[in-house]
Amino acid sequence: MDESRRKWDHMAAKAQSKAVVESTGGEPADTLRSYYEQMSLVRSFELRSSEMYARAKIGGYCHLNLGEEATVVGLMAAIEKRDYLFTGYRDHGYALMRGISPESVMAELFGKVTGVSGGRGGSMHMFDSEARLLGGYGIVGGQIPPATGAALALKYQEAAGADAAAVMCLLGDGTTNIGAFHESLNLAGLWKLPIVYVIVNNGLGMGTTVEKASAEPDLYKRAASYRMPGVRVDGDDVLAVRDAARDALKQARESRQPVLLEVMCYRLRGHSVVDPARYRAPEDTTIAQQSDPVPSFRAELIASGVLTEADAAAIDEAADVRVSAAVVFADESPEPDVDDLFKYVYATAVANAPSALPGEPVMDAL
């Protein structure tokens, strides 16, 4: 990876973010404390998820938000209840910050019926219509077309008298090179849809750097092709992320102006929990560790007098206790009934739908 380029990009985002945050004035201490509590919860949840995966409590794929806590909390502080959220498969923290309980999210990871998706989705497919979290998509970029369609539906509903709302669609940096990204942004720009596309740029599309995958590595500049604003922000600064996302969502709701927001951050682990990330240069790993938003925000709040060392320790302990309770809940929750294996395969009854369990004959002998 071109570490000097990556570091320069990150510092440039910090400079832009500083101007955004300074324009907002001071933040209430309670708000800052709340953001740290949320970041601590996401950190604790993801660390425990990694542990549970290693203990074979969690199956399938599992992608963590470790290192992206400020991005998660900042984006979710900006989105309103009336808005809709679509994510990729790195979705645990977003589900938590959308108001879904740690118990429901952990149970989903365990594949239990008490999970937010009834144990059918697992790590990559969190879904809760009441929270207006419409996935959790395992296919790279699979969320972009339906999110764009949802924005079109909102435009029709608003024309019919419904209150204005917007869609926030999260995607990774590697997603920006697939056809669905360009097709969707083109339609959003053409039809003036109320949607904010958020590129969570952690510098690595799985194991390939942005610089080696994108002819234009400044991904926010791609917005110009579709005549929509493109903004880059420091993903390690929870306030900068929140303010940039709030402004983008406001434009989407009030002006039907789609926005492309690029959030610069690092992931502290590999692409998934089983990825040792040996492709990562030592210097880049060091930069990621130095940019870790959780201890950085903790130190900033202590230095400014918002928290004491004891306050911060108590918050971290409370997060650990809450996540421990979620693990117990998930572990003790019932497994899905095998008779429900084919339930929800189709929304309505379909002739000749599959019903045989593994090992059963496909058809009776004549």
Residue 66's CATH number: 3.40.50.970
DSSP state of 226: G
**Lookup: tokens for 94:** 């977003």
The three-class DSSP label of residue 260 is strand
pLDDT at 23 over 50: no
**Lookup: tokens for 239:** 């306030």
DSSP state of 345: S
Is the CB of residue 208 less than 8 Å from the CB of residue 280? no
Residue in 89, 80, 166, 92 with CA at minimum distance from that of residue 131: 80
Instruction: Give the C-alpha separation, 282 to 328, whole Å.
Output: 37
pLDDT of residue 284: 87
Q: Which of 238-264 are b and which e, b meaning 16 or more Cβ less than 10 Å from the residue's Cβ?
A: bbbbbbbbbbbbbbbbeebbbbbbbbb
pLDDT band at 51 (very low <50, low <70, confident <90, very high): very high
pLDDT at 81 over 70: yes
Predicted confidence (pLDDT) per residue in 213-263, tens digit: 999 999 999 999 999 999 999 999 999 999 999 999 999 999 999 999 999
Predicted confidence (pLDDT) per residue in 307-362, tens digit: 999 999 999 999 999 999 999 999 999 999 988 888 888 888 888 887 777 777 76
State residue 267 phi and psi, 5-degree precision: -100, 140
- Give 75: exposed, middle or buried? Use CB within 10 Å, 0-12, 13-18, 19+: buried
Instruction: Examine residue 351 and state whether it is found in any structural domain, yes or no.
Output: no
pTM, two decimal places? 0.91
pLDDT of residue 6: 57
Query: What is the residue range of 295's domain?
Result: 3-340
Instruction: Examine residue 304 and state whether it is found in any structural domain, yes or no.
Output: yes
Q: β-strand 204-205 against 208-209: which pairing, if any?
A: antiparallel
Is the CB of residue 267 less than 8 Å from the CB of residue 88? no
If one counts the domains in the chain, the total is: 1
3-state helix, strand, coil in the chain (%, to 5): 50, 10, 40
Instruction: Examine residue 125 and state whether it is found in any structural domain, yes or no.
Output: yes
Instruction: Give the C-alpha separation, 60 to 54, whole Å.
Output: 12
Sheet hosting strand 259-264, strand order edge to edge: 84-86, 167-172, 195-201, 259-264, 230-234
pLDDT of residue 347: 85
Instruction: Examine residue 356 and state whether it is found in any structural domain, yes or no.
Output: no
What mean pLDDT, rounded, does the chain reach?
Answer: 92
Place of tokens 């004491």: 308
Instruction: Give the C-alpha separation, 120 to 112, whole Å.
Output: 8
Instruction: Examine residue 105 and state whether it is found in any structural domain, yes or no.
Output: yes
Instruction: Examine residue 361 and state whether it is found in any structural domain, yes or no.
Output: no
**CA-based radius of gyration for the chain:** 21
Residue in 195, 198, 246 with CA at minimum distance from that of residue 220: 198
Is the CB of residue 213 less than 8 Å from the CB of residue 185? no
Instruction: Examine residue 102 and state whether it is found in any structural domain, yes or no.
Output: yes
Predicted confidence (pLDDT) per residue in 113-167, tens digit: 999 999 999 999 999 999 999 999 999 999 999 999 999 999 999 999 989 999 9
Instruction: Examine residue 144 and state whether it is found in any structural domain, yes or no.
Output: yes
Instruction: Give the C-alpha separation, 123 to 187, whole Å.
Output: 30
Rounded to a whole number of angstroms, the distance between the first and last alpha carbons of the chain is 63
